[in-house]
Amino acid sequence: MPRPESASPERTAPRLTQLSHGAGCACKVPRGWLQSVLEDLPAAAIEDPALLVGSATADDAAVYKIGEHHAIVHTADFFTPIVDDPYDFGRVAATNALSDIYAMGGKPLVALNLVGFPVGELDPKVMRDILRGGADVVSSAGAVIGGGHSIDDREPKYGLAVSGLVDPTNMLTNGGAKPGDTLMLTKPLGTGLIATAAKRDLAPAALVDRALEVMCTLNDEAARSALAAGAHAATDVTGFGLLGHLHEMCQASGVTARITASSVPVIKGATALAENPDAVAGGSRRNAEHAKTYTAFDASVSQATQTILSDAMTSGGLLLALPPGVRDIKGTAIGEVAEAAPGGAEPIVVS
């Protein structure tokens, strides 16, 4: 959608990305650290059988059954600025939050704004444009903004809490992948690299525009196609990178996977950035270190490619486990699901 002319105020204040320590989903808490925090918390699913999907499988959203063919799918997602234009920041953050609903095969209905804003440092118009960007995306998804919550915060943050509906007899989770399934990715990688490079003045405007187009593309069509094709599992690729989210899918499904690195789509221009340490976000570095614990890389896979596979994405595509032979989905086949040894934790193989 076109950016409104009023969305870029004259700047005497700092750039949005200068006010944040990280960019977009790269500011997520490290996966391993988060696991250590969550491991001793009570299992809500045991206490309430209507909670069909909770935190146990690290899925994209919670699903709560309210009827035979109706369940509420609910998520919350927010982050620090990934671009400097406030309207575009709002668009990206909203698209990213809605993606969790689509990853479950659901339809978004109502969203609440979640805002942190430095009241004394930036013009109120900046916050207005952020909210306008989010509202435009929510409207394009056929949902509505019902209100929200804001706090005075030195570091800007924006996102949504989104509620939707899904048929519990026909929904997507990350736990149904089967050996022999084709793994398909519906958007290219590289948004984390490009956003970090832009924050550090290392990315040309044309490259940032390409990343923006990817980040502002809803995953609604991909979700509908996945449901129609009988996808066995789905997740969206965001802050833990492709390998991190694939690992979660494998754990939830009791399988492993093989990836062909040369088949993985990458935004044109991002590969060169992967060779520049200054373009690699801290979140991506943490992802790559964690990936070493569950991934076996062939010697032919370059360090730059390994970096891309762990890129802390913002508003990435859906990663789908599809029945063998399914190809009528807009996306790229990147590998296949494989059987794991009983009781074993076999590594994901990247060749």
Average pLDDT over residues 81-105: 95
For residue 344, pLDDT over 70 is answered with no
Residue 131 vs residues 111, 204, 251: alpha-carbon distances, Å = 12, 27, 37
For residue 10, pLDDT over 60 is answered with no
Name the active-site residue from 25, 27, 216, 250. Answer: 25
State the CATH class of domain 182-350.
alpha beta
Which tokens in the block code for residue 45?
């699913």
pLDDT digits (tens, 9 = 90+) for 106-128: 999 999 999 999 998 899 999 99
Q: What is the mean pLDDT of the chain?
A: 89
Is 5-166 a CATH 3.30.590.20 domain?
no
Quick one: pLDDT at residue 342? 74
Quick one: pLDDT at residue 31? 64
Greatest Cα-to-Cα distance within the chain, rounded to the nearest angstrom: 61
For residue 44, pLDDT over 70 is answered with no
- Return the exposure string of 188-199: e unless at least 16 CB atoms fall within 10 Å of the residue's CB, then b: bbbbbbbbbbbb
Write out the residue limits of the CATH 3.30.1330.10 domain(s) in the chain: 5-166
Residue among 94, 73, 54, 103 at smallest CA distance from 224? 103
Average pLDDT over residues 45-74: 87
Is the whole model's pTM more than 0.75, yes or no? yes
**Cβ atoms 217, 95 nearer than 8 A:** yes
pLDDT digits (tens, 9 = 90+) for 296-311: 999 999 999 999 999 9
Quick one: pLDDT at residue 9? 45
Quick one: pLDDT at residue 55? 80
For 315, the enclosing helix (H) or strand (E) is: none
- Among 10-14, 227-231, 246-250, 320-324, name the one with the lowest average pLDDT: 10-14
The C-alpha torsion from 26 through 29 and 30 to 35, rounded to 10°, is: -150
Which tokens in the block code for residue 41?
């918390």
Quick one: pLDDT at residue 66? 96
- Residue 234, beta-bridge partner list: 320
Average pLDDT over residues 236-258: 94
Phi and psi (nearest 5°) for 292? -65, -20
Residue 19 CB partners (closer than 8 Å, separation 6+): 80, 81, 118, 121, 122, 154, 155, 156
Return the higher-pLDDT residue of 158 and 325. Answer: 158
Alpha helices in 277-325 (DSSP H): 282-291, 303-309
- Residue 83, beta-bridge partner list: none
Average pLDDT over residues 240-256: 94
For residue 25, pLDDT over 90 is answered with no
For residue 24, pLDDT over 70 is answered with no
Write out the residue limits of the CATH 3.90.650.10 domain(s) in the chain: 182-350
Which tokens in the block code for residue 93?
């953050």
Which tokens in the block code for residue 162?
């989104």
25 flagged as catalytic: yes
